[in-house]
Chains A and B, each alone.
Chain A
Amino acid sequence: MAKYLKQDDLGSWLKELGKTYKVIAPVEEGDAVIFRPLTDERTLRIDRQATQGPKGVLFPACEELVSFKYGKDPEKPEKVTVDIQETVDAEPTLIFGSRPCDARGFDVFDNAFTKCSVKDSYYMARREQAVVVSLACTKTETTCFCNWVGGAPDGKGGSDVLLTPITGGYLVESVTDKGAALLDSPLLSEATGEHTAEAEKLLAAARESLREAPDFKCVPEQLYNLFDNMDFWEKQAAKCLSCGACTYLCPTCHCFNITDEQQGNQGSRIRSWDNCMSRLFTEEASGHNPRPTKAHRLKNRVGHKFCYFPDMHEGHIACVGCGRCIKSCPVALDIREVVTAAKECRLPEEETADD
């Protein structure tokens, strides 16, 4: 089902949806564009890729998992008791204006948090109540490579509704049943053949504008082959500052830490984003660290996205090609170059075999 929404009606449509959902959309914040609850005071910015994707809507950068309170047993005043309470904060939420790559990031999260033996109840509670309305990309950037990793500027994975900007408004397509319900608004009209033809033409041009996708089939095997080749990894990681910006901005990174905070006799057990580029991520109490250098850690980050995650989740690559890690890395480390180098790296045995 495809509909048409006039540019002038976008605000009213979001207001209407705001009666059912808390609407989260990319808004201006200084120089950055960040996903925040949409209010009259905030300026919607959907003409460019948001600085950070919307992963924080379903997986907050920081959230309370459990609260606790120390008390005294009235029967035995010398005995300290502990009362614990789980806190799940989930409400019907509409994520508006994510890009197709960002929406595919939620596919990665779904695999990681809901399709495993133990499921993340916090993420699931939010995911169930969320609808994702994405905006197809009619303009791409030099850092974009969604097509290398199974996506496209008009990819539908992870979205419930897909909007394509066309003359005077948007072509609005539902992807899931959840999304179809959103199209039931008097503000939307039936799309015409002209609307769909224009959208298709713009999207074809966008797909065309991306660099041709290299064949990544051999990458997982090659990453395993290179595991012990620390020369390779040291060369790749030479510039890295271990700042972790790449992981915090990545729409697929989902590692976290759990820490306690206490004030007086009560406190919280908090979950917050963590990052595998930091030395402390794997350091053990004995001082032993299985990933002691930044080369070991970059190997894990790239390996996880292109090799371990696909191994565990039917070939799904845990990178959606959004390019944010490339754009925001202070030393311009380019994950495309690392993977391409891995792909093309000849192993020492092969070289000697040829000689």
Chain B
Amino acid sequence: MTKIKNPYLPEMATVKEIIQETHNIKTFRVVLNNEQRMKDFKFEPGQVGQLSIFGVGESTFVINSTPTRMDYLQFSVMAAGEVTQRLHALQEGDEIGVRAPLGNWFPYEKMKGKDVVIVGGGIGMAPLRTLLLYMIDNRDDYGKITVIYGARTPQDLSYSYEFEEWAAAKDMNLVLTVDNEAPGWDHKVGLIPNILLEESPSPENTVAVTCGPPIMIKFTLQALKKLGFEDENIYTTLEKRMKCGVGLCGRCNIGSSYVCVDGPVYSFAELQKLPNEL
């Protein structure tokens, strides 16, 4: 009998570090228990993984670390339902199951030599962080980088301990925004799409990448179109309820495209060709 790899079998991993990002988001830095597998582990910026709490279930999260820094795999988890709540209860040293890497990734090769605009809202910054760190670590391959990252309040911004590193990168414009004025907040105030219009990055030789709540993506897209971005040069990552993560359970399709295999990264040009079922 031919023995093929079992796509449902998780690998065991250990939580090395937990960071409380916001009141409902925690970041987990995990390492595969099998040292060789950890050494050999390869993934691309934007790919996702399924995290398991055995006895509760699996859920999908972006690997938001970068392949250029392979000390650990990082996942940021917003508490939503059963699995995410149990993930939030983990302690450093606990074991979880990991199935990764799954899905496609940001077209970072095609983006080389271009300016890049990153527009993230809330937990939507997680996948974008991967791409951002990847570009920072390959800084000379990319032109000007603009990052617009917003959340409801200053306390809802993840990765704040890293902002200095991001901002210090060459030719970088880091713009932070929150919905309303807040004590001690000396960055922008206003909704992401408006701040984007205010910053008005040139669409010339530029790729835009956005992720966030559906409503934010919708208005960000309108703003990008207003600025003159072509659908081919705008990318987003989509969320769909997933189970298998490998194109077999039939849950995450948009027409004949399976978000777990053909996505989660899509260009808006690709999305125009799919039935409208977001």
In the assembled complex, the Cα of A300 lies from the Cα of B255 at a distance in Å of: 8
Tell me whether A118 and B247 are in contact (CB under 8 A): yes
Contact with B along A69-88 (1 / 0, CB 8 A): 01000000001111010101
Q: Which residues on B sit within 8 Å (CB–CB) of A260?
A: 54-57
B81/A84 in contact, CB under 8 A: no
Secondary structure class of chain A's binding surface, majority of residues: mixed
Which residues from A are CB-within-8-Å of B9?
Answer: 65-66, 84, 86
Say whether chain B's binding surface is mostly helix, strand, loop, or mixed: loop
A87 to chain B, nearest CB (A): 10
Q: Are B97 and A276 in contact (CB under 8 A)?
A: no
CA distance A235 to B56 in the complex (A): 39
**Chain A residues near B277 (CB, 8 Å)?**
227, 290-291, 296
- Say how far B83's CB is from chain A's closest CB, in angstroms: 9
**Cβ contacts B233-269/A at 8 Å (1 or 0 each):** 0000001110110111111011110000100000000
Q: Which residues of B contact A281 (CB under 8 A)?
A: 241, 251
Across-interface contacts of A303 in B (CB, < 8 A): 255, 275
B240 touches A82 (CB 8 A): no
The contact size tier of chain A is: 35 or more
Query: Cβ of A38 < 8 Å from any Cβ of B?
Result: no
Closest to B55 in A: A262
Inter-subunit contact A121/B80 (CB<8 Å): no
Tally chain B residues at the interface, Cβ within 8 Å. Answer: 44
Q: Which residues of A contact B107 (CB under 8 A)?
A: none
**Do B10 and A274 touch (CB < 8 A)?**
no
Known: A86-B6, A267-B55. Contact between A256 and B1, CB under 8 A?
no
Question: In whole angstroms, what is the CA distance A271 to B243 when docked?
Answer: 10
Report A112-141 CB contacts with B as 1/0, cut-off 8 Å: 110011111110110011000000000000
* A189 in the interface (beta carbon within 8 A): no
Taking a contact as CB atoms under 8 Å apart, the answer to whether A308 and B241 are in contact is: no
> Cβ of A119: which chain B residues have Cβ within 8 Å of it?
4, 7
Cα A125 to Cα B8 in complex, Å, equals: 14
Per-residue contact bits, chain B 1-16, to A (CB 8 Å; 1 contact, 0 not): 1101111111010000
Tell yes or no: A352 within 8 A of B by CB: no
Kindly supply a per-residue 1/0 record for chain B positions 35-55, scoring 1 wherever the CB is within 8 Å of any chain A CB and 0 otherwise: 000000000000000001011
Contacts of A311 in B (CB 8 A): 255-256
A80, A121, A285: the one within 8 Å of B6 (CB): A121
A118-B248 in contact (CB<8A): yes
**Pick the contact of B253 from A129, A258, A269, A308 — CB < 8 Å?**
A308
B276 at the interface (CB under 8 A from A): yes
Judge if B95 is at the interface, Cβ distance under 8 Å. Answer: yes
Q: Least Cβ distance of B7 to chain A in Å?
A: 5
**Segment 1-34 of B: residues with Cβ below 8 Å from A:** 1-2, 4-10, 12
Residues of chain B lying within 8 A (CB to CB) of residue A284:
239-241
A291 to B253, CA, bound (A): 11
B113 contacts partner chain A, Cβ-Cβ < 8 Å: no
Question: Is the pair A259, B57 in contact by a Cβ cutoff of 8 Å?
Answer: yes
A308's partner among B58, B93, B255 (CB-CB below 8 A) is B255
Residue of A nearest to B53 (CB): A260
Interface residue from B8, B12, B93, B247 paired with A82 (Cβ < 8 Å): B12
Interface assignment of A282: CB less than 8 Å from any CB of chain B: yes
Which parts of A249-287 form the interface with B (CB within 8 Å)?
A: 254-262, 267, 269, 271, 274, 276, 281-286
Taking CB atoms and an 8 Å cut-off, the chain B residues in 184-242 that contact chain A are 214, 239-241
Across-interface contacts of A290 in B (CB, < 8 A) = 240, 254, 277-278
Interchain nearest-CB distance for B273 vs A (Å)? 10
CB of A312 within 8 Å of the partner chain: yes
Residues on the A chain within 8 Å of B6, using CB: 86, 88, 121-122
A129–B84 alpha-carbon span in the complex (Å): 39
> Which A residues lie within 8 Å of B164 (CB)?
none
Q: Tell me which residues across on chain B come within 8 A of A271, comparing CB atoms.
A: 8
Residues of B within 8 A of A68 (CB): 54-55
Residue of A nearest to B12 (CB): A82
Cβ of A288 under 8 Å from chain B: yes
For A216, list chain B residues within 8 Å (CB). none
The smallest C-beta distance from B203 to any residue of chain A, in angstroms, reads 29
Map CB proximity to B onto A31-75 as digits: 1 under 8 Å, 0 otherwise.
Answer: 000000000000000000000000000000000011010100000
Residue A304 is within 8 A (CB to CB) of chain B in the complex:
yes
List 22 contacting pairs A-B, 8 Å CB cutoff, sorted by A: A70-B54, A79-B93, A82-B12, A82-B95, A82-B97, A116-B248, A121-B4, A121-B7, A228-B275, A255-B250, A258-B8, A258-B57, A260-B56, A261-B55, A262-B54, A267-B54, A274-B249, A284-B240, A285-B80, A291-B277, A307-B256, A308-B256
- Chain B interface (Cβ < 8 Å from any Cβ of A): 1-2, 4-10, 12, 52, 54-58, 80-81, 84, 93-95, 97, 214, 239-241, 243-244, 246-251, 253-256, 261, 275-278
